[in-house]
Structure 1
Amino acid sequence: MIPYGRQSIEEEDIRAVVETLASDWLTQGPAVPRFEAALCAATGAAHAVAVNSATSALHVACLALGLGPGDVAWTVPNTFVASANCALYCGAQVDFVDIDPETYNLDIGALETKLVAAETAGRLPKVLIPVHFGGLSCDMKEIAALAARYGFRVIEDASHAIGGTYEGRPVGDCRYSDICVFSFHPVKIVTTGEGGAALTNDPALAEAMRLLRSHGITRDPQAMSGEEKGPWVYEQQMLGFNYRMTDIAAALGASQMRRLDSFVAKRTALADRYDALLGNLPVARPLRRSDRNSAWHLYVIGLGDGKDSGALRAGVFEHMRAAGVGVNVHYIPVHWQPYYRSLGFRRGDFPGAEQFYACALTLPLFPDLSYDDQEKVVATLSEVLA
């Protein structure tokens, strides 16, 4: 089976993990700050806070921005559920903004229309979480301008997008956002086994997220307010969580970061090749934008015109899987999930995301995908669409 995604592990990665296993530190040691420094160097962000998953990163980012009961966060429906769940963890409410049918990212026109209505109703969002779908950055300059006008904060969910660029600069530099979140799940661009990070240029937000990832506890004498003194003393200053990344995971991540440019270059070359190989097939290929480069976490094609695409996609999916091609679908709209339906959302609420879902099929894409296997993917697709 050719998987839709697969990690790329080399001897250097294995050696980094083994060295950590043989060291005095398996967690809360030197590998985590080393990995965080690599993230800052790659993106230009001032601070990086590594945690045990991107979900944890989204949660602490929301909390650091003060999201809580009585507040509303907005995100998009075509994402993994964590992009919305993180707000609910804080006691806030969630709503969605539909997507652009060409980029599969948040639709700026839909966002502006929704903001006008929300301002009239006195229900503006406190936080917006745009998602860089597939590795392509959202229109962050326009989002930042709306954030300044309407007073909401911005968390980039860049779980798909480390190594991508926007306006010639790395995704994650936080020029147009308060916080940017990355994922290091095995199918992502860079892996730590499981893990995430939240990047920011704001030292106060960075410190809050560091406290939140480790029970709200500090051991910094300069930050303590109590009377207890001594090298053993620690203080819990807020209600935090055990979201720490291990040194084992961080050592793998730091090693992987040395190949970030190579990973993205290989994914880009494969995406370019897909574009050429699929040229004569009746499928929609991912949009390219001149002002940004995708990190190519996903290569998603569109089948049909959305009317009968569900049946077409199901047939293609089954044929491809039976032939040993591990296609996938990203994503079932979040508002269709039973839990979100229990909150009042319904099918038909966000037609752009729903039509995209009906047509979408994710083809295998990862750095070590061979040209022969890529050609098998396209040949198998050609068979079923013939």
Structure 2
Amino acid sequence: MIDLMMTSPAPQQEYDWLALAQSLGQQFAAVEHAADVSDAFVAENFVELRQSGLSAMGVPQELGGGGTSYPEVCQVLQILGHHCSSTALAFAMHTHQVMVPTWKWRHRQAPVDGLLRRIAEERIILLSSGGADWLQGSGTATATEGGFLINARKGFASGAPAGNVLITSAIYADPTEGPTVLHFALPMQTPGVSIEPTWQAMGMRGTGSHDIVLSNVFIPEQSIALRRPAGKWHPAFHLISMIAIPIIYAVYVGVAEAARDLAVQQASKSCDDEHVCDLVGGLENEIATARIMLQHMVATAVSSQPGFDTTNQIMTGRTLVAKAVLRAVDMAMDIAGGRAFHRPFGLEKLFRDAQGARYHPLREQVQRQLSGKLALGCDQDSL
């Protein structure tokens, strides 16, 4: 058994998390490529993420963590995304679940110190079902003595094989309030919780984004952290959008940067080919767009408060980053030519992995509808 506490950096010391991410990313690449071939989870890499202390880098130093700033956390994910897409994306799902309570602790003095201390001391990994559930929620919560029985199937639970605690929700047919989404944290060892290995995907194959099945899982009443109307925006989702989306899309910017580097390396002797130079220039524009928009998202998250205006900025950035990333990997394929079609070159994997940028909320059509309604001054209570 690896002694995680003995091998992690002391929480109060200054630590170069970016250099650590660079070193680990290069180390993780071989495991990730093997996982991509076999649809396996990048389990070895998650052991290292725990052991190195990266899993607790965002926990405040006062609570035993690394005290890493939000912008630096995003940079770490961007670096990891450059080297190991699946590892980075699965880790982003844990990381944003760390940074949300960290924000609440710093800005609202919320009583979340117990969870944050566990992340720092025990190196627990958090799982999220938020992207698949989003505003509507999924699954059923049936009232029973002392709490609820939960039945649900939670898809796209990235990092599921390594997770210790699932942050999720279910819908309760409240006789007074109507469909109500109940939010709660659920230890993965709880009776009735199982992982169904369903993840066979086009890209991000090593994320272990399996289904988590909840069968008559008992949740005590006192464990319900939040109740909200199903399908409606709630302050909690404005906070999640503000914190989570830049972290997740930092990974995709890293993927696009890696594709750019491979393509430029392949075309390095084409200075006399004006067509190739034009393509490379277009690729540089797309990478610049992705980076600038990511920087705007991160700056917005740092300087703003959760709400519709902030969510609008973040989600607009999400659309523009995704489009730039997808155009960048497409251009990289054109620049590299036929070699890009060969798996050993590596660009084909990056192209596939980048396609995941399409699917996180809010997808472009929904984002545009939200932005349009806000621009038109529509009643926010109806959104």
Give TM-score scaled by structure 2 length: 0.24
Q: Which has the higher contact order (CA 8 A, sep 6+)?
A: 1
The structure with more helix, counted as a fraction of residues: 2
Give TM-score scaled by structure 1 length: 0.24
